[in-house]
Chain A
Amino acid sequence: MINFQYARADSVADAVRQIAAAPTAKFIAGGTNLIDLMKEGVERPARLIDITHLPLKDVTETAGGGLKIGALVPNSDLAYHPAVEKRYPLLASAILAGASQQLRNMASTGGNLLQRTRCVYFYDVATPCNKREPGAGCSAIDGVNRQHAILGHSAACIATHPSDMCVALAMLEAKVHVTGPSGERVIAFADFHRLPGDTPQRDTNLEPDEIIMAVELPAQGFAANYTYLKLRDRLSYAFALVSVAVGMELAGGVIRDARFALGGVAHKPWRDPQAEAVLQRQRPEEETFRRAADTLLRNARGFKHNAFKIELARRALVRALAQAARGTPQSQADKKIA
């Protein structure tokens, strides 16, 4: 590991001041991703700014009937928070589908948003990777790419965003509150993560000198009809091949509103308004779900090892929509698919 300086931030303003003063510094929260990357020489911060003492650990009610989740709320606390369990069971479910209990105890809300891709080449500094070293080339396009994207990829990078929690947040249309040298701003979740384009080194639209303060959930939690369905290469403790978060509102046997987001298929949690529109005011029937899936995947393109994800995503979406419509969400404890 490379020697680095360590400093503790004692207020948000202090954290912002410190990071603005040291462009090669990084915040550290749970450290479950950053430390791994430092050990591999992928991240090489000259300074770590420990933000774990900042007062960003509360979950509070918002005026609009939603919840505001501090950036340092641990993933496990959030998953078991009574208000989340009751009003946003989808979010709880998505968090519990990820990593392991030990990791979730350490992982923070903000850190989860900023975790980096698990592309094997990104992790191995002996191999070329545009995300790690812009211009070096992408080893995955013609290499081992089972885990990689089928949507929204570019010639520069076909990596996926690995988070489960973020798939739920994308579906819920959360907002990200951030603070930087020029003050606070709010970023809509859909605008938070980026597609790789020709700048795959940038995962998000957060500026390097900004800190995540909180994630805000709108009032609508889809607590009656939702699901988080995660398909992976083993039944636990593996990143998604494909995952689907669905929220649905039904009235009189008809879908009044439906949203879905997919994980494991793109550089960011994948939303597609056109595909969601297929469901509006339709009966929750398999035929309709199939049409939505076809629309979603109309531009999907796979690579040597991951082309199967297109069909898997199709089936996963159809099933997840059925689970949500039936009101039988996927359990994360019982691995049998509902």
Chain B
Amino acid sequence: MTRIGTPASRVDGRAKVTGAAKYAAEFEAENLAYGAVVSSRVAKGRVVGIDLRDALGVEGVIDVLTHENRPRMARSKKAYEDDIAPGGAPFRPLYDDKILYNAQPVALVLAEDWETARYAASLVRVDYEQEAHVTELESQRDEAFDAKNSPKPRGNAEKAFAAADVQHEAEYWLPIEHHNPMEMHAATVIYEGKGKLTIYDKTQGVQNSQAYVASVFRLKQDDVRVISQFVGGAFGSGLRPQYHLPLAVLGALALKRSVRLVLTRQQMFTFGYRPGTIQRVALGAKSGGTLDAIMHDALAMTSQYEDFTEHVTNWSGALYKCANARYGHKLARLDLATPIDMRAPGGATGVYALECAMDELAVALKLDPLELRLRCYSDRDQNEGIPFSSKKLRECYRQGADAFGWDKRNGAPRSMRDGSELVGWGMATGIWEAMQQKASARIVLTANGHAEVACAFTDIGPGTYTMMAQVAADRLGLPLENVTVKLGDSTLPQAPVEGGSWTAASAGNAIALACEGVRTQLVRFARKVANSPLADAKPDDAALVDGRIVSKQDSSCSVSIPDAMRAANKERIEQEATAESNDDGKHARYTHSAIFAEVKIDEELRIVRVTRIVNAVAAGRIINPKTARSQILGGVVFGLGMALHEETQVDHRLGRIVNHNLAEYHVPANADVHDIEVIFVDEPDEIINPLGVKGVGEIGVVGTAAAIANAIWHATGIRVRDLPVTVDKILG
């Protein structure tokens, strides 16, 4: 089956499991040199001396680049801005002597092999002039400044809160989290000569990397080709060009040789991360269970050089009906790298706090938490005062609750048990934007009924190859095997970075549009066939079905694609199309979900097991239920990690991340993951885009941590308001 809406296995699955799929660090080149990065040992100050003698003395070391001897790079900070750079001045690796954060790159060793490079890197001796640093968010509460990205307030939230029958107000803390994809960031730069570079980069956006390299090194855009056909996970860490990319290029330009640079696992903790936040949520309600006031304030961290800002607080007003709302978002500058989007950036953060607060409000109101959500249900986006393009959240609540058995919940904490374990049931709502970005796709259909679909998007794991093939197969009426996909190459038709859950909508609609063009041409050709049954057909009168051009009025009237192309004397049809969002501001565009979680906690020892999760998702049309389900499963596991495990530990005296490895930075292990049921609620959406697609890459994360934290409260009676919920916080 190949149609949109039917489950299909990954078309690239075989290549991935057999090792045929190559990742950035796996491409070979003649005369390849290897780089290793030397990382700063202080958090702030200046490099005052670099002793390279020992490193250069190692046999096999070719050169060591520092800010003092590197090839030219653009001076203007602007030149380093990529497509999604936040405000401020981007970090310029090896640009000058400044230390902006601990473990930033300070030198690049280039050697004949990786082991030598890494060894020599350990011999580079750097002297620093240290300055006082600050890495603790809480200490900067008073220093923080307004991020100016909050939605407009409405009504008078302060007053309504003060007058509310029932009030809940609390602070919710989230630590720094790192993406920790399996594949380390890496680039293999092939030095082609004559100013040309081909770069195999681990990135979520090949054209973003291409533009960045061209700009930073003053190269012609066309002379830089960036390829990223397979990505071993990224979760946002590859949205911006990370320092491995410019450093690998620096190395290649300095040596006039091809260079491979791979970061170490420890160095995966030396750039972007989900920012730590402290949120204050204040909810005022009528005793009947409707909201009078929402006040949501976030304090988040950013670096000294860029203003990274997420949408943390706006979700409250988009989700629930409430006449009075006020939001605040402050940023504190810390001597850390700039944060970067991490799966459901802002949403995972803000909805965690909101949905825990809603749970607490439900307790204060003596209402079932699901019932409270239903009483606050909103058919309009309250922030913008507009209806939704579609919102089947009520159906998510209903189907999720049914599948979970929510009606059997006893609301009192510590009221449910299973032998020596306390049982807790918690729920939360999820919400995420349904975005579409401008993207182009090209279809080449050959007379043998084979199509190639091409678009510069990357596939960071969600199944973009399969999705693209499926949309093309569906629209061209071909079997899936007849469609090949080209992606992750900057020479292909334009695409933005893969992120924001927008790839299916963006690439999918561009492909569908290109297929329309192909069909129009085919109908024209079909009319030329001798005694054509479609002689009078207009472009829209025929559809493509099973390799044929078929009349919509009478399916017995059809022409095969090869016949039509022969009649027109064509070997191939090539069609490119660009699609962009039709958003005219009249409808709010969101995906929604309802998450139900069960935890079992040993009463004495307080070890938490998340035994069951049901996540019911409304995300428009689901192109491939199989890969979409995997996305939700992965998202839920991500949320589980957020709830129970993930925490980047910073030693504030050293200004240094200390648990920078996967033994000490915990993500869920298999044993932590039990039953997860994914439900896709039917949600036709005629408004959002021609395919009716919303995207599912991130919604699975949003709300999951809250549902689990709420379940832990229900089991133990202990309300933990700082993640992760580790055993020490619930020992009681």
Contact = CB atoms under 8 A, between A and B. Distances in A.
A154 B103 CA distance: 30
B605 A121 contact: no
> B interface, how many residues as a size bin?
35 or more
B669 A236 contact: yes
A233 B609 contact: no
Nearest to B116: A3
A143 interface: yes
Contacts of B658: 120-121, 124, 127, 143-144
A315 B731 CA distance: 10
B672 A236 contact: yes
A335 B671 contact: yes
Nearest to B102: A126
A235 B659 CA distance: 19
B651 A144 contact: yes
Contacts of A237: 669, 671
Given A120-B649, A337-B420, A308 B122 contact: no
Given A144-B658, A315-B605, A139 B651 contact: yes
B666 A144 contact: no
Given A2-B119, A234-B666, A235-B671, A337 B607 contact: yes
Interface in A303-338: 308, 311-312, 315-316, 318-319, 335-337
Nearest to A305: B728
Interface in B682-732: 726-728, 731
Contact of B654 (A139, A146, A233, A319): A139
A43 to B, nearest CB: 13
Given A3-B119, A144-B651, A336-B421, A123 B661 contact: yes
Interface in B617-667: 644-645, 649, 651, 653-654, 656, 658-661, 663-664, 666
A120 B660 CA distance: 8
A302 to B, nearest CB: 10
B651 A241 contact: no
A186 B731 CA distance: 42
Nearest to B667: A234
Contacts of B600: 336
A143 B659 contact: no
A72 B122 CA distance: 32
B76 interface: no
A147 B600 CA distance: 24
Contacts of B666: 233-234, 238
24 contacts: A1-B115, A1-B118, A2-B122, A39-B118, A120-B659, A124-B658, A125-B122, A142-B653, A144-B659, A147-B664, A231-B607, A233-B727, A234-B671, A235-B671, A236-B669, A238-B666, A239-B663, A308-B728, A308-B731, A311-B731, A315-B604, A319-B605, A336-B421, A336-B600
A71 to B, nearest CB: 24
Contacts of A144: 649, 651, 658-659
A235 B674 CA distance: 11
B69 interface: no
B337 to A, nearest CB: 16
B672 A235 contact: yes
A118 interface: yes
Interface in B94-121: 103, 115, 118-119
A312 B729 CA distance: 11
Contact of B609 (A123, A308, A336): A336
- The interface centre, meaning the residue of B115, B118, B663, B668 with most chain A CB atoms within 10 A of its CB, is B663
Given A126-B41, A315-B605, 7 more contacts: A121-B658, A144-B649, A234-B645, A235-B609, A239-B663, A315-B731, A335-B609
A315 to B, nearest CB: 5
A222 B497 CA distance: 60
A41 interface: yes
B18 interface: no
Interface string B109-137: 00000010011001000000000000000
Contacts of B452: none
Smallest CB-CB A-B distances: 10 pairs: A236-B671, A308-B728, A235-B671, A126-B41, A120-B658, A337-B602, A237-B669, A236-B669, A143-B651, A144-B649
A30 to B, nearest CB: 16
Contacts of B119: 1-3
B670 interface: yes
Interface in A61-118: 118
A259 B670 CA distance: 33
Contacts of B644: 234
A251 B704 CA distance: 50
Interface string A130-151: 0000000001001110110000
A9 to B, nearest CB: 24
A2 to B, nearest CB: 5
A117 B35 CA distance: 30
A336 B420 CA distance: 9
Contacts of A312: 605, 727-728, 731
Nearest to A41: B122
